[in-house]
Amino acid sequence: MDGLSSSEIVFKAIGRAINKTVPIVELIKRRIVGLYQITSMGSIDITNTWEPLEKGLLFLETTMHVSLITITLSKNELDTSSIG
């Protein structure tokens, strides 16, 4: 954010990447004083479909329910009505 023309950066992570993203954001907040933060969490469904290798078999479809996080850091004050 220092030396960049943008005043805002957004971090998005799903699944196990959340455990790595949160500490990175915390490091940035400690190095750049005066940042504002909004965090939102949610989940998405990811569907995988596999085609059978042999004729006559059905397609295999699996759906995973995966957590996601979005963290916005900004030099400018963010929406104060936001929960995060």
CATH number for the domain harbouring residue 47: 3.30.110.20
Task: Look up the domain containing 56 and give its range.
Answer: 8-74
**Is residue 64, in this structure, part of any structural domain at all?**
yes
Do the beta carbons of residue 71 and residue 39 sit within 8 Å? yes
The count of domains in the chain is 1
**Is residue 29, in this structure, part of any structural domain at all?**
yes
Do the beta carbons of residue 5 and residue 75 sit within 8 Å? no
CA-atom Rg of the chain in angstroms: 19
Given this model, what pLDDT does residue 76 score? 87
Tokens of 80: 């104060």
**Is residue 24, in this structure, part of any structural domain at all?**
yes
pTM here? 0.77
Among 2-16, 31-45, 55-69, where is mean pLDDT lowest? 2-16
**For 13-56, what is each residue's pLDDT tens digit?**
999 999 999 999 999 999 999 999 999 999 999 999 999 999 99
